[in-house]
Amino acid sequence: MLPPSNRPSQILRKAGEYLEAGTALVWVLDMERRRATVYRADGTVAVLGEAGVLEGFALALSEAWE
């Protein structure tokens, strides 16, 4: 989840560090905007809204905001 003090550039840098270290994907949950951004090692990025579902396990994002 995004700490309130982090800027978007800091988030992107940190996600990049995880991917460069061999992580297959990084999920960034933005509680304020109720969305998740998925960064994959192949360079693709997906933004999921409140109705989205993160792959790999089932989590209805509408339930995450509660």
* Mean pLDDT over the full length of the chain: 87
- Is the pLDDT reported for residue 4 higher than 70? no
Q: Greater confidence, 39 or 7?
A: 39
Per-domain residue ranges of the chain = 8-64
Cβ burial, residue 21 (10 Å; 0-12/13-18/19+): exposed
Model pTM?
Answer: 0.75
Dihedral over Cα of 55, 61, 42, 16: its sign:
negative
Mean pLDDT to the nearest integer, 19-41: 93
